[in-house]
A and B are shown apart, each in its own frame.
Chain A
Amino acid sequence: MSRPVDAEPRPPGLRGATRVLLERELDLAWSGGGGPLLACGFFACLTAVLPLAAGGDPRTLSPVAGGIAWLALALASLLSLERLFERDLEDGALDLLAIGHLPLESVVLIKALAQWIAVGLPLALTAPVAALALGLPVSLAPLAALSALIGGAGFALTGALGAALALGAKRGGLLIAVVVLPLFIPPVVFGAGALERAASGQSPAPALAFLTAYVLFAGVIAAFAGAAAVRNAQG
């Protein structure tokens, strides 16, 4: 590799660019408006409303605790998606990212990764608390956190794809929800399924394997389709 002739500072390599972008995304996610805490608050609110809507009887609630927790998780994961690309499109940062070192596919993946760390991780920590409040057995709390963590990666990746698709749309937030929620069905099915299997004494491993497969699949699709959508929005 030849060094650049002029005296400009050496561009950070791919690894450096990845780290810089990840740090920037995390900074943006954590700064202002409560960041991920808002998503956790929304998650807590949903967890409070859903059982009351269903009657609140522990006998009816306990069997569906995992499912309700997963529904709340999916909805809470939608919250901050709208700003994921829209903000960068508005202030021109997306154009800079497009001409930078990283291919747009990686940019989409890194943004999804940051979304996972910033939103998915706190939600995964909140998930067992919410599930216990709904009546899930305490012994299943670690599984609830683990499955929520894996599922959170799927939500972040699919959500990033939806956010990229909805770039430049009127009422983007609502549109992202309509586009993304059908894609959230498999992780909700597998995630809640893992808890259900464990609650009935079966091994949750198959459901977790399906959940992980969904995440890997979503990673491939979201990278390429998301990058295509971002390029299209930049026109």
Chain B
Amino acid sequence: MGGGVGVTVLTVTAPVYLDAASAAPLHPVAREALLAALDDGWADPARLYGAGRRSRQLLDAARQTVAECLGTRADEVSFCANGTQAVHRAVLGGLAGRRRAGDLFVHSAVEHSAVLHAAERHVADGGRVTSVGVDRLGRVDVDAFAAAVRAPGVALAALMSANHEVGTLQPVGEVAEACAATGVPLYVDAAQTAGRGPLPAGWSLASASAHKWGGPPGVGVLAVRKGVRWSSPDPADEREGGRVPGAENVPAVLAAAAALRAVTAEAAAEDARLRPLVDRIRATVAATVPDVELAGDPDRRLPHLVTLSCLYVDGEALLHALDARGFAVSSGSSCTSSTLTPSHVLAAMGVLSHGNVRLSLHRGTTGADVDRFLAEFPAVVADLRRTAGVEGL
């Protein structure tokens, strides 16, 4: 290092961020687009003077880009204030639009909590809900789902494209066929797959969130397929085709679209790069950490996400121990949730919920990052087990 005798070289390792499924780091093109649009797209796109028309032009272009990347028509896409708002509007608007067909909402047991919260509101308003179970890998029971949508009075069905906690891909195509056979619209929460490919075939309503694909936070996408009934669940105005009230955040939308175009172009290469890294995590953790349960489908899964639970380990302590070593991960353990309830996804699958961590990789994650995690993780778990006195139990 060029240092003389007595010089101590400190190795400072950069933090390793492994929580892309919560928020992916901002894509460089999104940053550029955001900075440019702050100057160029600040005006109200509903106004007819020059600056307003410029904002409208940028917004229209962003909508066209997002539509192309998701495989929709531009007039099917509305921008929301965030992904959660898009979910709520998809579910409640989809149910409201089909009020005359019935009041039953069918969804999988492992939908995002935003879907479940919308379902709770539906029930509070007098509606009915059927939750369809999943297998140990988190894949919804297609026969049970098909039976559920054949019941009288089904207004809407919901199945996510892939699970956000365990990465399992859902059989959207098969479920969509069952829904189509009974004329029930299918809402697909595509938060974890948007930017990795088009929306799965058979969707009637869909939603996504820009900060899962490298766009800025604060941009959600609601897609309502042409001809699908949708009715605003709350006061509406003329914005976003009457589907999302309030002026659009044009700079953020533009940045989101730029990021989506970029990650869509990179998707195949990133899939090929990240998938083996997750395979390596799954294989190495299973081999080096005793009593660990790897959740989710090992094959039919998202390329970038893996979840595991360590027997007898406190999830919160595990998060803090990893954070202290520079690893940012999330957890589905009850002690890490504000409600102190375990992840409804892990519970529906029947897998261990304590000692749980989810790792989700992104375009900035390197093989060296993964190797560092794999080198340190066994000792982190062993230390916590030693401290708790549960070794060999």
A and B held together in a complex: no
